[in-house]
Copies of this chain bind each other. A is one copy, B any other.
Amino acid sequence: MRPQTGAAMSLASRKLAAVWPFWASLQGYNTSKALSDVSAAFIVTLLLIPQSLAYALLAGLPPQLGLYASIWPLVFYALFGSSRQLSVGPVAVLSLLTASAIGPVVKAQLASPLEAAVALSLLSGGFLGVMALLRLGFLARLLSHGVIAGFTLGSALLIILTQLYPLFGLSPQGVTVWQLLAPWLGPWPKVQGFALSVGLGCLGFFVVTRLLAAKWLRPMGRGSVERWILRLAPLVLLLTVWALSYQFNGPLRGLATLGPVASGLPAWHWPQLTPALVEALWLPALSIALIGYVESLSMGLALAARARQTLHPNRELWGLGAANLASAFSGSFPVTGGVSRSVVNAEAGAETQLASLLTAALIFLAAAYLTDALPFLPKAVLAATTIMAVWGLLDLSIFRKTWRFSPVDFGSLSVTLIATLLLGVEVGVLAGIASSLMLILYQSSRPHLAELGRLPGSAHFRNRLRHSVELNPALYLLRIDESLFFGNITAVTEAVSRAIAERHALKDVVLVFNAVNHVDYTALHQLSLLEQSLASAAVRLHLAEVKGPVMDALIRADFFAHFSGSVFASTAEAVAALEAKTTPVHT
């Protein structure tokens, strides 16, 4: 009986693996993979604990929420997502978006910061779930690189400006670059001497490790060692200062510390959501869902391609949606697949999401047993950690690159960056989405069209703008280089209408369909109307080089029922036939 049961189980297991990526990743799991996963989990946990605390502070929330956001969301992503190496949890940019979204809600007394954060996770998880259900993942593809780069750069600058406050023992204020810069432009705020020293010390340590790593290790070709030193440096700093704090069993000379961290574990609660809260938070939640998905998906795709694994974009929506809902129900704030933590996870050798499950378990233990040790962490050092983490996002070369390549990309980069800095992150996201959308609509409405002429002495027909060709005044040959649909058909009818209005000798119009793979109903309808209009003007419309599937569609739609023109196999054949008709033949 046993082999039969084994075979049945194996079949069930293979079926399960086909629909459940997590199960698929566990096929062929062995001790070597397990060791890799375990070591990756320990390294990620070490980096994650201070980062999670810092990001919770950045979001304007109690520090333990950072830990909570690194427990259940990891578990749910592991079960529902499709990447093997993505590490989900709080990330800097989403924390900034969270801070910006919950500020006004708290001010209007609609909810406490914690309630607002939970509502935000719930709504963005909901949006991701709806997008997964309706298979709307393609929407996230629609943000141009200029927009994403502008938004990332703006957010990184805002985060660094925000973190200068705790670095110097002050409380941050505002969400735009003006509000954040204002105190430093007037008479300087009252900076605590000792806080300033610690802050400058941290910044100095940060600069020195960066310089040392870049000067000594990179020229020696030790890029990976360099990267690990840069990654672990904040941890060393943190542990040193924390050990000092702990040694003295209290705050060092009035230095602002994390303060009491509520001990205990995330409890599952049904989140409260009032209509007023939904109205105030739906748009920020949608921004968080989109930005989070874009960041996570691009990281996931890159990691999957390197490891020759498959990432399912729609499953990523389910995974991130589940992670955010888990965050909401366990009382925390929005999460996504982070770039830096995922890279660390992958480079530390993670083979499957078991690494993330173990990470979640380790952070669970930290939340349960380390809370007594955490209050002595100086905020200045956490701020230095955050600054080091986002410093890598400050890629200024993008300005030069896009400027050289195209003014449109440079423009959308600049607009998004300026909107993010001056009007806040939310307006930045929305301005970016709106500009991307307008660009897509504009490009959709302008198909590539080429008027063709004869290459002298040949039967070849080429774009008149790129080649020196002969034109026949009685003939208009228009090659359509894209599939036709309602968005771009008007450009074709306008081009033909212009031609017949301008060229009074015109008798025949030939649309060359060799690049048309599909024609929708609107395009077909407009072509019929065009044919009728041309007939009233004594001009005939013809088609050439129509592909099989397009021809089938035209026939099915009765396009030829009232069509007075011809369909030619090639442009050359069309020209030969039409010129023979109009030019008197001398025999």
- A497 at the A/B interface (Cβ < 8 Å)? yes
Contact A310 B498 (CB under 8 A): yes
| Shortest distance from the beta carbon of A224 to any chain B beta carbon, whole Å | 13
8 Å CB contact of A302 from B437, B446, B529: B529
Contact A436 B486 (CB under 8 A): yes
Which residue in chain B gives the minimum CB-CB distance to A518?
A: B448
Contact A440 B444 (CB under 8 A): yes
Residues of B within 8 A of A537 (CB): 305-308
| Shortest distance from the beta carbon of A434 to any chain B beta carbon, whole Å | 12
- A205 at the A/B interface (Cβ < 8 Å)? no
8 Å CB contact of A497 from B146, B301, B409, B515: B301
Q: How far is the CA of A481 from the CA of B138 in the complex (A)?
A: 19
Which residue in chain B gives the minimum CB-CB distance to A413?
A: B521
Q: Is the interface of A mostly helix, strand, loop or mixed?
A: helix
Contact A497 B556 (CB under 8 A): no
Q: How far is the CA of A446 from the CA of B504 in the complex (A)?
A: 40
Q: How far is the CA of A496 from the CA of B308 in the complex (A)?
A: 10
Contact A409 B521 (CB under 8 A): yes
Residues of B within 8 A of A286 (CB): none
Residues of B within 8 A of A440 (CB): 440-441, 444, 485, 487
- Given that A305-B530, A307-B537, A408-B520 are contacting pairs, would A142 and B486 also be in contact in the complex, using a CB cutoff of 8 Å? yes
- A458 at the A/B interface (Cβ < 8 Å)? no
Contact B142 A445 (CB under 8 A): yes
- A272 at the A/B interface (Cβ < 8 Å)? no
Q: How far is the CA of A446 from the CA of B307 in the complex (A)?
A: 25
Contact A404 B557 (CB under 8 A): yes
Q: How far is the CA of A530 from the CA of B501 in the complex (A)?
A: 47
Q: How many copies does the complex hold?
A: 2
Residues of B within 8 A of A482 (CB): 482-483
Q: How far is the CA of A406 from the CA of B552 in the complex (A)?
A: 13
Q: How far is the CA of A409 from the CA of B520 in the complex (A)?
A: 8
Residues of B within 8 A of A367 (CB): none
Q: How far is the CA of A409 from the CA of B305 in the complex (A)?
A: 37
Contact A521 B444 (CB under 8 A): no
8 Å CB contact of A310 from B442, B501, B524: B501
Contact A497 B304 (CB under 8 A): yes
- Given that A305-B533, A501-B308, A515-B481 are contacting pairs, would A521 and B406 also be in contact in the complex, using a CB cutoff of 8 Å? yes
Contact A501 B304 (CB under 8 A): yes
| Shortest distance from the beta carbon of A26 to any chain B beta carbon, whole Å | 17
Contact B305 A448 (CB under 8 A): no
Seen from chain A, the residues whose Cβ lies within 8 Å of a Cβ on chain B are 138-139, 141-146, 301-302, 304-311, 313, 401-402, 404-406, 408-409, 436-437, 439-446, 448, 466, 481-483, 485-491, 493-494, 496-498, 500-502, 504, 515, 517-518, 520-522, 524-526, 529-530, 533-534, 536-537, 548, 553, 556-558
